[in-house]
Amino acid sequence: MIQLFLPAPLRSAAALLTLAALASPAMAQNPLFPAFNQPIAFQKVTKADIKQATDQAISNTKSTLTAIYQVPTGKRTFANTMLALDNLDDNLNRVGGPISILFNASPDSAVRNEAQRSLARFSKYGNELELDEQLYKAVKDYSQTKEAQALTGARKKFLTEAVEDYERNGFALTPEKRKELQQINDKIGDLSLAFGANIAKDRGYLLVSEADLKGLPDDYIKSRPKEGAQYKITLDGPAYSTFMKYAQSDALRKQLYVKYNNRAADTNLDVLKQLLQERQKKAQLLGYKTYAAYQTSSRMAKNPETVWAFETKLVDRVKQKSQQDLDELLTVKRAYLKDNSVTTIAPWESSFYNNLLMTNKYQLDAEKVREYFEVNNVVSGLFQTTQSLFGLKFNEVKGGSVWHQDARMFEVQRDGKLIGRFYIDLFPRDNKYTHAACFTVSKGKQTPKGYQLPTAVLLCNFNAPTPGKPALMSHSQVVTFFHEFGHVMHNLLTTAELSGQSGTSVKRDFVEAPSQILENWAWNYDALKTFAKRYQSAEVLPKALYDKMWAARNVGSGIAASQQILYGTLDMTLHDKFDPNGAETTTDVLKRLQNQITPFAYLDGTNMQAAFGHLTGYGAGYYGYMWSKVYAEDMFSIFEKNGIMDQKTGLRYRDLVLAKGGTDDEYNLVKSFLGREPNQEAFFKSLGL
């Protein structure tokens, strides 16, 4: 998952949020304004620094914008108009990016709260600028010059999309209607921030006795916090998924499932309803039938009809495989309960019976597999793989200034030259972002001082070390880690001239392709044997165990795909076929779709949509996960043909896809790498279909 620090309205090429040259003496002391290409001193940032940086950013903008407004008619150039706007947008991102990290990961509540206020202020200010008529006129005037009409390549694309974004975002409206749109955008920004903050703040847990922990691994039990004699099962990813996989108590798994699928429900069901109402108002004000029609109009899919056709085709292709998967689980459940009359699997049972299926039929013990994935070895293996494929060198910066002691900082070199930085923060803790995602702190960009170093942060929630035992990862966590690192590589390997086209600044339904392709290396034995070593003995992952993992790879792939289709369909339905002012609730929609699409019946009283964080960042865009997987698997087929560690192919992929960012049409990037038209064959093969 790629995270961008502000709500959607601020991420278009025309989102002209600005900072002027920040060279004042007061700012020189503020760690959020480091010298060119120097890292942020995260450790030093205070609540006061965040407020000061935000104030300064907004006040400096106003004088800088005047210079753009005042370029005389007939004197507009790419440099004094479009490049100026890209610079301004980039300057905001370089302040907002690190503030977003502090909002999502700082252990200091005062810093987190100030960061949330700051992001809300930037969001509102951005909404003002997005509807700034003078800026629109500046871009429009430039677009009609001879120089503009002679543009080619990336610069032409940048200008065309800027004008289109402006016009999609309200410049066909009267000034009164634009004011109304700005108020709607402000509400959307506030509601999106609140939705995420409510999920992060949810501190739900289940209390269980020692006897209730039957079936769970010893290191899991030892690492549980306690309340008196009882153990706390928290709702972070590793705690929840491990309990659901191993706990023998069906009743407690059901209780935990209910709690997990009601995270933030007390606040976010209402927030979500309001968000959908505001998005619908926005779309209709802009002349679109639905918010999905508005969102898809600037994406690869172009319209909701294309997405619905894609989802329907997926449902049809996946149905048979998910029925086979369900039959396998039912066989296991009947044997376990010694009851041949069983005909259903409940959603809180699937992980438990899937684990028994893996252990009994496929002789795959997930706990044994974990012993080969000690976190430092995985980090090392992931780094070796990507350094070799893309011709890079990573160096850890010891003693770097970070927001928490768990965070680590790395510099990336190519041909002996520093080209970027990234940070990793791998373990769960209170008040930290609860999933795994890549955040952009600064983007690559050509400047008069040289190329600006891109910087990215990986916030994850993998199993932490326990007393006497290192941090061990499940293989699915290894796959997630490779996935997120694909986003890091997309950010860091950019060579785009403009920050608005740099790294992950691509269409949202393509942004997951460079992360999904990298998952394949976490499944390849030649890659795995370089780092999958038993933590007690350094024994390499045996080929026989790997063969079992591979044989089991597509066990449950139909069920997993149906779950992804559910998420994409829920998101599209809420934004395309749902009236947020009507009698039907978002929970009614969830119930209907879950019963239609997945093999597991909806459980009354659950509200997973309240903690479905993608509904803010990916509103009407979650289909992009499966959509971009089509391109990812097709591109991976070239590596399969040429050799998975073939550096020549790796460098072609680096230069033809990753380096380009949003400088060319995404379909063209894929086609140039493939040397042919893309197709879906590799995608369906990857699902075991």
Residues tagged active-site = 484
Do 116 and 197 meet the contact criterion of CB atoms below 8 Å apart? yes
Q: In what order do the strands lie in the sheet with 408-414?
A: 2-3, 437-442, 455-459, 417-425, 408-414, 393-396
Q: What is the 3-state secondary structure (H, E, C) of 625-661?
A: HHHHHHHHHHHHHHHHHHCCCCHHHHHHHHHHHHCCC
Strands 205-208 and 226-227: unpaired
The rounded Cα 87 to chain-centroid distance in angstroms is 25
Tokens of 128: 């003002």
Across the strands, what pairs with 233? Answer: 206
Nearest to 203 by CA among 234, 230, 231: 234
Q: Would you state the torsion angle of the CA atoms of residues 595, 600, 604, 610, taken in this order, to the nearest 10 degrees? A: -90
Do 40 and 98 meet the contact criterion of CB atoms below 8 Å apart? yes
Do 501 and 457 meet the contact criterion of CB atoms below 8 Å apart? no
Estimate the share of the chain in helix, then strand, then coil, as percent rounded to the nearest 5.
Answer: 60, 10, 35
Nearest to 50 by CA among 5, 109, 114: 114
Nearest to 43 by CA among 397, 388, 289: 397
Do 529 and 644 meet the contact criterion of CB atoms below 8 Å apart? no
Nearest to 89 by CA among 439, 490, 442, 437: 442
Length of the chain (residues)? 689
Do 205 and 234 meet the contact criterion of CB atoms below 8 Å apart? yes
Nearest 5°: the CA angle 497, 501, 504 is 125
Tokens of 422: 């990234």
* Cβ neighbours of residue 628 closer than 8 Å, sequence gap 6 or more: 509, 510, 511, 512, 513, 516
Half-sphere exposure of 621 (CA within 13 A, CB side): 23
Spatial separation of the C-alpha atoms in residues 437 and 236, rounded to whole Å: 14
Q: What is the 3-state secondary structure (H, E, C) of 520-545?
A: HHHHCHHHHCCCCECCCCCCECCHHH
Nearest to 7 by CA among 162, 135, 231, 192: 192
> What does each C-alpha distance from 255 to 220, 354, 610, 664 come to in angstroms?
19, 19, 17, 50
Q: Would you state the torsion angle of the CA atoms of residues 66, 69, 74, 78, taken in this order, to the nearest 10 degrees? A: 90
Spatial separation of the C-alpha atoms in residues 33 and 29, rounded to whole Å: 8
Q: Would you state the torsion angle of the CA atoms of residues 581, 582, 588, 589, taken in this order, to the nearest 10 degrees? A: -70
Spatial separation of the C-alpha atoms in residues 689 and 674, rounded to whole Å: 22
Spatial separation of the C-alpha atoms in residues 416 and 414, rounded to whole Å: 5
Tokens of 432: 């930290």
The rounded Cα 116 to chain-centroid distance in angstroms is 19
